[in-house]
């Protein structure tokens, strides 16, 4: 579904990703872990199409298309969704209005009729139950005045509404208390199917107690330095990132 080959990217001439190789197939859940500054969020932003990051080398193929050629809105319409680490507040834009516009943009892309307000509300009610979100939030402006936990749950609500085939979650677990974490993890697990895939970017092993990955990759200094099964996450938790960092130093 997603194939990243020798991806090198950076911002303002500073190289952050120094050659990433990664293949994700349908039905798989991948986790990327790594210390601060390893390039985790850059990878997420490059996949979503943030213009501030320049791709210097390499390729990303998504469902057979050159992903890097697609505009951000086309990527998400084609099913590649990013849950933001820091969801953006947009005062004055009503959340329900925004969500309906997003859902209808995706539907129109696939030649489906736009949902009217009534049908959309029905769809949304189903999804907010899953995420235990207060319906009152949906009458407020997008993310404005939401707590950290509410913002992250709202991201997963958007994911549930847009029904992506390739979801990238950028530190969705950061800053969540354990109850919120369980709700988010439950939401993500419910959305997992045989024909979609998830890439979970996280700083903490804790999330992986609730979302069980098929593969774990360790990102360090812009490269994937170690890959393995879910046991790698436990090993990381036990030994800390120093284990990887020191290993690097020894090799050097």
Partner 1 sequence: MVAPANNAVDRLLAVLPTRGEGGASFAEMGFPTTRDEDWRFTSVAPIAELEFTAAEADAAAKLEGCIFSEIAGPQLVFVNGHFSNELSGVGELPEGMEIGNLASAAFKPCEAEDAFGALNAASFTDGSRVRVADGVCFETPIRVYYLSTGGDGATANIRNHITLGANSKATILESWTGADAAYFNNTITELSIGDNAQLEHVKFQDESTAAFHVAGLHATMGRDCRVAHHSIALGGRIARNNIRARLDGTGIEAVLNGLYLPRGKQLIDHHMVVDHLQPHCDSHEYFNGILDDHARAVFHGRIHVHKGADKTDAKQTNKNLLLSDNATVNTKPQLEIYADDVKCTHGATIGQMNAEQIFYLRARGLDEEAARRMIMHAFAGEIIARIGCPPAREELDRLVWDRLEDK
Residues near partner 1, by CB under 8 A: 48-51, 71-73, 75-77, 81-82, 84, 87-88, 90-93, 98, 101-103, 105-106, 109, 141, 158, 162
Residue 188's nearest CA partner among 229, 121, 131 is 131
3-state secondary structure of 242: helix
- Of the pair 94, 245, the CB lying nearest partner 1 is at 94
Write out the H or E segment, with its range, that includes residue 80.
strand 80-83
CB of 28 to partner 1, least distance (A): 23
What DSSP state is assigned to residue 141? Answer: E
- Of the pair 73, 126, the CB lying nearest partner 1 is at 73
Encoded tokens for 138: 């949906």
CB of 65 to partner 1, least distance (A): 16
Residue 54's nearest CA partner among 17, 11, 4 is 11
CB of 67 to partner 1, least distance (A): 14
The DSSP line for 26-76 is TT-EEEEE--TTSSHHHHHHHHHT-TTSEEEEEEEEETTEEGGGS-HHHHH
The DSSP line for 81-140 is EEE-SSPPPEEEEEHHHHHHHHHHHHHHHTTPPPPPHHHHHHHHHHHHHHHT--GGGGGS
- Of the pair 140, 230, the CB lying nearest partner 1 is at 140
- Of the pair 93, 121, the CB lying nearest partner 1 is at 93
CB of 52 to partner 1, least distance (A): 8
- Of the pair 110, 250, the CB lying nearest partner 1 is at 110
CB of 71 to partner 1, least distance (A): 7
- Of the pair 7, 82, the CB lying nearest partner 1 is at 82
Q: Rounded to an integer, what distance in angstroms lies between the CA atom of residue 202 and that of residue 40? A: 8
Q: Rounded to an integer, what distance in angstroms lies between the CA atom of residue 124 and that of residue 98? A: 12
CB of 145 to partner 1, least distance (A): 13
- Of the pair 96, 245, the CB lying nearest partner 1 is at 96
With tokens 């932003």, the residue in question is 45
Q: Rounded to an integer, what distance in angstroms lies between the CA atom of residue 48 and that of residue 74? A: 10
Phi and psi at 67, nearest 5°, equal -60, -35
CB of 231 to partner 1, least distance (A): 33
């Amino acid at each position: 579904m997603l194939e990243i080959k020798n991806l090198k990217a950076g911002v303002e001439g500073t190289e952050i990703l120094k050659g990433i190789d990664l293949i994700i197939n349908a039905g798989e859940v991948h986790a990327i872990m790594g210390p601060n500054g390893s390039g985790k969020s850059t990878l997420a932003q490059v996949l979503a199409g943030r213009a501030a990051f320049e791709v210097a080398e390499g390729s990303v193929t998504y469902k057979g298309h050159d992903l890097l050629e697609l505009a951000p809105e086309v990527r998400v319409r084609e099913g590649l969704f990013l849950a933001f680490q820091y969801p953006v507040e947009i005062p004055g834009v009503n959340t329900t209005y925004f969500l309906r516009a997003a859902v209808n943009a995706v539907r129109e892309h696939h030649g489906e009729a736009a949902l009217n307000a009534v049908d959309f509300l029905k769809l949304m009610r189903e999804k907010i139950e899953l995420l235990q979100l207060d319906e009152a939030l949906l009458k407020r402006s997008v993310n404005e005045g939401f707590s950290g936990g509410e913002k992250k749950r709202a991201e997963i609500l958007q994911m549930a509404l847009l029904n992506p085939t390739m979801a990238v979650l950028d530190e969705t677990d950061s800053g969540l208390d354990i109850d919120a974490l369980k709700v988010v993890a439950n939401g993500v697990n419910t959305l997992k199917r045989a024909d979609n895939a998830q890439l979970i970017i996280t700083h903490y092993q804790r999330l992986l107690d609730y979302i069980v990955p098929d593969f774990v990759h360790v990102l360090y200094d812009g490269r994937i330095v170690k890959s393995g099964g879910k046991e790698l996450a436990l090993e990381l938790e036990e030994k800390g990132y120093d284990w990887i960092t020191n290993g690097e130093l020894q090799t050097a």
